[in-house]
Amino acid sequence: MSDVHSKEVRSYNMSKIKGKDTKPEILVRKFLFKKGLRYRLHDKKLPGKPDLVFPKYKIVIFVHGCFWHGHEGCKYFVIPKTKTEWWLNKINSNKEKDMESVQKLKNEGWKVYIVWECDLKSRKKEETLNALYYKIIN
């Protein structure tokens, strides 16, 4: 048992570092899986390694943390007061990479949906997930 626990802790730490398997992303995955949809995860062959890939629908989904991906006008996107310039550079470069990936994917004929972390907070969650589901299957 203790080994299982340490494995969990390790993977949690890894997820914090790599930004993979974050909680909002798991929420989206679980919801769509329950709805019967099947997908690939973090496909390295595609630009930006989309979080979820639906080859059958030619759709990819990114689940973005509002801070790291600089969600404009969002209350969760607040640049820290210290090392402000460093953070701005960091987040702006994330945003540039995001835009590049989206453009490349679109050029390859993929539909790209971005789900923001703030839209997965308790009150909005249900609505966001349902809307996403219908966008995929339609």
Chain contacts with Zn ion (rule: CB under 5 A): 66, 71, 74, 76, 116, 118
Residue 113 to residue 102: CA distance in whole angstroms:
9
CA atoms within 13 A on the CB side of 74: 16
Look at the block and give the residue holding tokens 């299957």: 137
Least CB distance to Zn ion at residue 64 (A): 8
Least CB distance to Zn ion at residue 108 (A): 27
- Choice between 113 and 116, CB closer to Zn ion: 116
Least CB distance to Zn ion at residue 10 (A): 29
- Choice between 57 and 67, CB closer to Zn ion: 67
Alpha-carbon dihedral 26, 98, 103, 63, rounded to 10 degrees:
10
